[in-house]
Copies of this chain bind each other. A is one copy, B any other.
Amino acid sequence: MHKMAEVGSTIYLDHQSAAPVFPEALEILKQYAIEPFSPSSLHQRGIHSKKVLQSALECISAFLGCEETEIVFTGGSWEAIVLGIEGFWRRNASKGKHILTTPIEQKPILLLFDKLKNEGATVSYIPVDKEGFVDPKAIEELSTSQTILCCVQWVNPEIGSIQNIQEVANLCFNKGIAFFCDGSYAAGWVPIDLKRLPISLLVVNPNQFNGPKGVGILCVKKGFEIEPIIPGLNRDFGFWGGSENLPAVLATAKAAEITSQLFKEKIEKVSYLQKLLWNDLLTHIPLIALNGPQLGFGRSIQNLNVSPEFIGGESQVLSCDLKGIMISSGPSCIQKNLRVSHVFKAVGLGYQRAVSSVRISLGITTTKEEIEKFAKIYREVVAKLREMSIGWKKYISEQAKNEE
């Protein structure tokens, strides 16, 4: 499998917070930063820059199955999300003011919709079931003649639900509604082919397929118009200003290329490790629940979100940390602000389940040895924390009574 730098004695299982960058991608980033290159220059290095930028566009568009002219690079995937949603709203609000979305989008997206409500938007939320799946049919029921945009995430980074994006996209297409998809946690992990999939606006996060940070991609399919948020002159058809971050774009293309080559192997390995881990936890830890969908087609192979009853998520994270294991008690973008995440609320998982949850997220560098070592240590951590839990002690003594 793909080799990264040595991790030492730590085990990193927080790939959906931030992922390691392929050394080959970093090498390219370094190469194009140590000497300056700008595609706007007339001289040889400018011409070379234009050429490699063009190859990068070809590589990334092949990765996504879109046209080169449909790709806009931004300073990060969150910038790409704002450009896609707010940019679309600003250009198209005159055609209708109704927007559809789900209550489990990334939190900042939901806040962005709150902002658009102040500008006259009305937003309807497509219900989700307790595994975090939206019902595509609800789109039909909720949409009106005023609906201009439907915004549904592909993969939920917290509980791992993978939406039936093909069905959502087809439905929107048939109803003439633009479809914005937050694919931040999808690209590199689920097959994407925009030729077959009528997504109007797709956001891709290069870091999630081991590309660099500081660059985001918005794919704007032909026929859809957006207003620039950071208006510019010569870059990305004026959708995003400033001069290109060429090193990061080239590194992104490299990461896309490697990801394509390794895709099958990666998917096989990581889904195997996910199953291995979940079976181990389920076998050895009593009263542990999986949050989100069952393993399989509908769940991200990177993501295990589990709640061992009677102990807190944060104490699990900190205890694991003392043993050199990095996991998360929630997506990186929300934990500082919310104790019980909006996703847990939306799927109807109660307070207890939420506060005892941790997210274990696997990545391309994860090995079988790491998973086995982690499973063993995590078992001990849970046992240790439960020893200090009044709820657990009560449960145990009641169990004992029942057995008498």
Which A residues are within 8 Å of any B CB, using their own CB? 4-5, 7, 10, 12, 14-15, 17-21, 23, 26, 29-30, 33-38, 40-46, 74-79, 82, 107-108, 111-112, 115, 207, 212-215, 229-234, 241-243, 245-248, 314, 317-318, 320-321, 324-329, 332-337
From A7, A10, A245, residue with most partner B Cβ within 10 Å: A245
- A233 to chain B: closest CB distance in Å? 6
Contact of B233 with A42 in the complex, beta carbons under 8 Å? no
Contact assessment for B42 and A321 in the assembled complex, using a CB-CB cutoff below 8 Å: yes
Of the candidates A7, A38, A111, A115, the one having the most CB atoms from chain B within 10 angstroms of its own CB is A38
Docked Cα-Cα span, A34 to B365, in Å, equals 11
Question: Which residue of chain B is the closest to A322 with respect to CB atoms?
Answer: B44
B42 to A314, Cβ gap below 8 A?
yes
Shortest beta-carbon distance from A2 to chain B in Å: 12
Collect the chain B residues with CB atoms within 8 Å of residue A34's CB: 4-5, 20-21, 23, 26
Contact indicator B26/A242 (Cβ below 8 Å): no
Instruction: State whether B233 touches A320 (Cβ < 8 A).
Output: no
Whether B7 lies near A36 (C-beta < 8 A) is no
Measured between C-beta atoms, what is the minimum distance from A78 to chain B in Å?
3
- Chain B residues with CB below 8 A from A332, complex form: 38, 40-41, 243
Alpha-carbon separation in the docked complex, A79 to B30 (Å): 23
Distance (whole angstroms) from the CB of A216 to the closest CB of chain B: 8
A74: chain B residues at CB < 8 Å are: 75
Q: A12, B241: Cβ atoms under 8 Å?
A: no
Q: Which of B18, B37, B42, B75 contacts A214 (CB 8 A)?
A: B75
A10 vs B37: C-alpha distance when bound (angstroms): 13
Contact A231-B44, Cβ < 8 Å, known A21-B33, A34-B23 = no
Distance, CA A70 to CA B75, complexed state (A): 21
- Give the contacting residue for A36; candidates B20, B111, B333, B334; CB below 8 A: B20
